Amino acid sequence: MPEAFKAPAGAGLTAGQYEDMVQKAHQDPETFWLDQARKLAWHIPPQQASRSDFKNDVRIDWFSDGRLNVSENCLDRHVRTQPDKVALIWQGQDEDQKESLTYQELHARVCRLANVMRRLGVKKGDCVAIHLPMVAEGVIAMLACARIGAVHVVLFGGFSADGLAERLSDSGAVLVLTADVARRGDKRIPSKTTMDEAITRCGAESRVQHVLVVAVTGADVPMQPGRDLSYADEVAQELPDCPAESMSALDPLFLLYTSGSTGRPKGLVHGSGGYLVWAAFTHATVFDHKPDDIFWCTADTSWITGHTYVVYGPLANGGTILVYEGLPSWPAPGRWWDVIDQYGVTAFYSSPTVVRAAMREGDDVVRSRSLASLRVIGTVGEPISPEAWQWFHDEVGKGRCPVVDTWWQTETGGVMITAAAGCVTPRPGAACLPLPGVGAALLDTQGQLVEGPGEGLLCMARSWPGQALSIWKDHDRFRQTYFTTCPGYYFTGDGARREADGYYWITGRVDDVVNVSGHRIGTAEIEDAVAMGHEVVESAAVGIPHDLKGQGLVVFVVPKEEGVFHPSAVNRAVAAGVGRYAVPEKIYVVRDLPKTRSGKIVRRLLRKIAMHDLKGLGDLSTLADPDIVQELIALVKTQD
């Protein structure tokens, strides 16, 4: 291992102390996790850590005899000790749009909104949908829900009205927070009118009573009397204090929808106690958190990364978070590096897609900035190639900052496998080692444990505090999705390789999920949307490698009427059914798809054909129509 890759020992934990933690968490998990839990503020401290069970009906159960409030943990206890410390810095995409809130100020803003929600009739256990861009109100809304025991459901600004409607109906949200209009570089996104359309589409299934509209651009938007209210007007009427609801550790804190191998997105449920313990523990350990850190996680709050490392982890630890509204290279390349220099960001947590895009802009862009304040840098969401890792290490981290590639999922609540800064020596391109208490395991397709070095399905042998409790209103789907492939284990959906010394390398999803720039997209979601267009017989979506996005989507479509069908119909259907972010890279209009005799589409072949990788196509004689393969190869060749 070259000297440069040896992470410096952080002031927090030495490598030896970290190794001790790994041992303790392994030998006596009950004591270890109760000790971690005691770092939070509880109304009733838990006496028991886990009663989880991966067998039978599956039960995820952490700290269940404890009671707490998540917003008190993120605000009140810091207001008592450091009221004037900056909790949140917000920078809008235009230079003059900015604000900075101390813990005291953030507490007051959260309480005012929590009081509005209570006045509007939102009760403990009700769902509240948050559909906001990266503005301070997005964070405030999440914490206000936590304060009154409402379950937040943060919805991505890029979802189509259909995508929003599906999630509004499934969650049964009673209140929605949206923006008038959101900014994305020069583009304007009509958040309010898209939300109006979504609520209309829910029809009788909608339980939405009120829509609170945050004036992000100040644009005039239609307001439905009685239902729609101005956020600013409402919070102005309330007091800056609001008693917090006492929650069981197992009461849901939020739902977050993610994609799987079926068309319907699933609402993963995260609880209050275990999730917060995991958020705080992993934020402190992985990033070697220091009190003076300015922590910038660039993820949108509508993804799990934004939940855990924009909001809950750093605020539970009393840190300072930066929320930046804009794009990495708008109005010009290097904008994010300027933000780091402007605010003295110490921890920068982003994605391989951002790193790849920055590499393309040329080294001069990053070299013309100082970046001297950075202490630790990280990525998440997709594999980072050794080359991109090295560039990030050398050019952004200037060879001084530990690089933490972090493997985890919506389901895991927080980081699971990484090279914790200052504690574990990273290996470029590898996810590295499981965190203390994480029982990573590899199983073969027969469900047998792979010992030592080898490759297999990445599973978890035991529960960890951040594990999702269930799928909203569908525990059986939770059990079936995650606990039947490898009985007795949580199955992640990823494949991995393990070296002799225990380092993990993620090999990618083994199910029909494609990762486009860190967006997790189910191929079935795409195919369902295409089918809604009514002009197709069937379609198949596959993911293939993409230089910038990691993976790109390719759709093969069999139209009802070949001569009149235009591929743009597929784009329209995907944009309407899922959202513009899922629009495919390439569409091939074909006569038929390769299928087995029992009618199953052979996606492996489609993937290889789309990649022009014609070696090892295998035995085609078992296909229903073997000739279709040559036909598709010829078609792809002429169209690329």
| Beta carbon nearer to ligand PRX, 74 or 304 | 304
CB of residue 18 to ligand PRX, shortest distance in Å: 19
Q: Single out the residue of 140, 348, 153 nearest to residue 234, CA to CA.
A: 140
Q: What is the rounded CA–CA span in Å between residue 195 and residue 133? A: 13
- The residue ranges that bind ligand PRX (CB under 6 A) are 258, 304-305, 380-383, 405-410, 431, 492-494, 506, 509, 515, 520
Pairing type for strands 536-546 and 550-559 reads antiparallel
CB of residue 274 to ligand PRX, shortest distance in Å: 17
CB of residue 533 to ligand PRX, shortest distance in Å: 26
In Å, how far are 293, 363, 613, 631 from 616, measured between CA atoms? 51, 39, 8, 17
| Beta carbon nearer to ligand PRX, 263 or 594 | 263
Sign, CA dihedral 11-14-18-23, equals negative
| Beta carbon nearer to ligand PRX, 148 or 457 | 457
Q: List all residues 6 or more positions away from 109 whose beta carbon is below 8 Å from its beta carbon.
A: 101, 136, 140, 235, 240
CB of residue 184 to ligand PRX, shortest distance in Å: 20
| Beta carbon nearer to ligand PRX, 107 or 498 | 498
Question: Are 124 and 150 in contact, with CB atoms under 8 Å apart?
Answer: yes
CB of residue 383 to ligand PRX, shortest distance in Å: 4
CB of residue 412 to ligand PRX, shortest distance in Å: 7
| Beta carbon nearer to ligand PRX, 221 or 323 | 323
Structure tokens at 485: 């492939």
CB of residue 518 to ligand PRX, shortest distance in Å: 6
CB of residue 416 to ligand PRX, shortest distance in Å: 9
CB of residue 360 to ligand PRX, shortest distance in Å: 20
Q: List all residues 6 or more positions away from 208 whose beta carbon is below 8 Å from its beta carbon.
A: 129, 168, 173, 174, 175, 176, 199, 202, 227
Binning the chain into helix, strand and coil, the percentages to the nearest 5 are 35, 25, 40
| Beta carbon nearer to ligand PRX, 408 or 489 | 408
For ligand PRX, which residue has the nearest CB? 410
Question: Are 325 and 90 in contact, with CB atoms under 8 Å apart?
Answer: yes
Q: What is the rounded CA–CA span in Å between residue 141 and residue 173? A: 14
Paired residues of 545 in beta bridges: 551
Question: Are 618 and 609 in contact, with CB atoms under 8 Å apart?
Answer: no
| Beta carbon nearer to ligand PRX, 107 or 520 | 520
Structure tokens at 447: 């469900």
Please give the single-letter amino acid code of residue 467: Q
Structure tokens at 142: 């999440």
Paired residues of 176 in beta bridges: 129, 211
CB of residue 468 to ligand PRX, shortest distance in Å: 10
| Beta carbon nearer to ligand PRX, 176 or 380 | 380
Question: Are 290 and 283 in contact, with CB atoms under 8 Å apart?
Answer: no
Largest Cα–Cα separation, the chain? 73
| Beta carbon nearer to ligand PRX, 289 or 519 | 519
Structure tokens at 602: 């052979």
CB of residue 460 to ligand PRX, shortest distance in Å: 12
| Beta carbon nearer to ligand PRX, 112 or 497 | 497
Q: For the CA atoms of the chain, what is the radius of gyration?
A: 24
In Å, how far are 88, 301, 319 from 75, measured between CA atoms? 11, 18, 11
Q: What is the rounded CA–CA span in Å between residue 483 and residue 179? A: 39
Q: Single out the residue of 36, 494, 503, 98 nearest to residue 279, CA to CA.
A: 36
| Beta carbon nearer to ligand PRX, 316 or 573 | 316
